Amino acid sequence: FPTFEKIYRRIPASFFEVCGFALLELMIGLLLISQFTVLLWREDRHGNLFFATGILLVLFALLYIGFCLLRGDDKRGSSRLLVTDIAFFFFLVWCGISVAFSPNPAYSFWGSAYRKEGFITYLIYAAVLISARAVHSPRYQRILLWSLGGVGCLLSAFTFIASEPTWKWILADCGIFLGWEMIAVYNSVFFNKNHLAYFLTMAILALAGMFLFGKRTGQKLLALFLFTFA
């Protein structure tokens, strides 16, 4: 049987970048997908989609960690150990100990349906960060930032429309978006305003970055407009 290192030698480095980019794009788009499933079919499947995508991200992160450890020819710095990596590792150990000695290990691992603050959620977001480390292309990075900002603005637009009774009546009268009653006013598909605010904070920071570091005037103006709107 070939060693793991030989197996990794057969996998091109570009695979990890493309795969990491695709999974991150999917994770960003889940909220928009959830918005449409609610509006069109009155079905909120974000939790199921989140954990399904999260498991894929965790598996990819493990594969990428193995790539970084076994292949020392990656010159782009992805395998370089950072102080934050050490901090996240010790937090991972502490979370594992907490779950093991918890009076309710299942709850500690999965978390509540409302907050989803369990150990599995930490693993998923840790995998998101690791997957982002695999994306080196400035083009892919810009697409991810625009996607994050764009989804935030679209959710803001849906939330604005959902908060206006006239718009809701017009759309319902036309037989469009019949699932408005499942969307709380000013919350989009989130449980409360804080959750939407947390997401929009990330979205507007991404748009601020595109405004500050964008090279084209049109892109900078678009980023500024979307930033202001969000």
Query: Which residue from 64, 27, 50, 190 is spatially nearest to 120, judged by alpha carbons?
Result: 50
pTM: 0.83
Task: Specify the higher pLDDT residue, 166 or 183.
Answer: 166
Q: Is 6 buried (19+), middle (13-18) or exposed (0-12) by CB count in 10 A?
A: exposed
Q: Give the residue-averaged pLDDT of 9-20.
A: 86
Q: pLDDT of 199-218, one tens digit each?
A: 999 999 999 999 998 888 99
Q: Give the residue-averaged pLDDT of 70-87.
A: 66
